[in-house]
Structure 1
Amino acid sequence: MFVVTLKFSASTARASALMEGHNAWIKQGFDDGIFLLAGSLLPRAGGAVLAHNTSRTDLEMRLQQDPFVAEGVVSADIFEIAPGRTDDRLAFLRG
């Protein structure tokens, strides 16, 4: 499982022009069964994605397809988590 943070860079002014493509990228991640959660980092710091059912290499390639990443609007950091204990509602994450 991965937590990805997408932190705004100095190029945030370009975000509005790329928002449609970024939202399509997020939708594709959910449609592909990779993204479990996507949302904003508050206050207005960027975004975050919870991903599973993928490898780090494939996730890195997927991130390069995000217009925000490709155009330098955000920088992406990936944190890999090996779930050891979860609430029963998240048991599917234990693998």
Structure 2
Amino acid sequence: MFVVTLSFAANKAEAPQHMDGHNAWIRRGFEDGIFLMTGSLQPAAGGVVIAHNITRPALEARLGEDPFVAENVVSPTILEIAPGRTDARLDFLKA
């Protein structure tokens, strides 16, 4: 599984003009069964994505399709996690 932080970058001010495309990108991530959670980094620092069922190279490619990443509104950092111990509700992450 992966935790991706999307930290605001040089073109942060351009976020509003790319918001529709970014939201469509998020919607596709959920529809494809890749994204488990998205949200905002507080206070107003960017966003975060929790993803699974994807390889790192495929995730990197998907991130490149995000208009926020493509237009340097955010800069992604990928943390790869190999779940060990989980609450029973999250056992599917260990697969």
Same fold (TM over 0.5): yes
* Deviation at residue 10 of structure 1 after TM alignment: 2.3
Matched position secondary structure for 2:20: helix
Match of 1:44 in 2: 44
Match of 1:22 in 2: 22
TM-score (structure 1 length as normaliser): 0.99
Q: Separation in 2 of the partners of 1:61 and 1:11? A: 21
Match of 2:91 in 1: 91
Q: Separation in 2 of the partners of 1:86 and 1:46? A: 27
Post-superposition CA distance 1:32-56 (Å, at most 9, x none): 0000000000000000000000000
Match of 2:7 in 1: 7
Task: State the identity %.
Answer: 65
* Deviation at residue 27 of structure 1 after TM alignment: 0.3
Q: Separation in 2 of the partners of 1:16 and 1:79? A: 27
- Aligned: 1:76 with 2:94: no
TM-score (structure 2 length as normaliser): 0.99
Runs of 4+ in 1 over 2 A off after TM superposition: none
Post-superposition CA distance 1:23-82 (Å, at most 9, x none): 000000000000000000000000000000000000000000000000000000000000
Aligned pairs for 1:57-76 (under 5 A) are 57-76=57-76
- 5+ residue gaps in structure 1? none
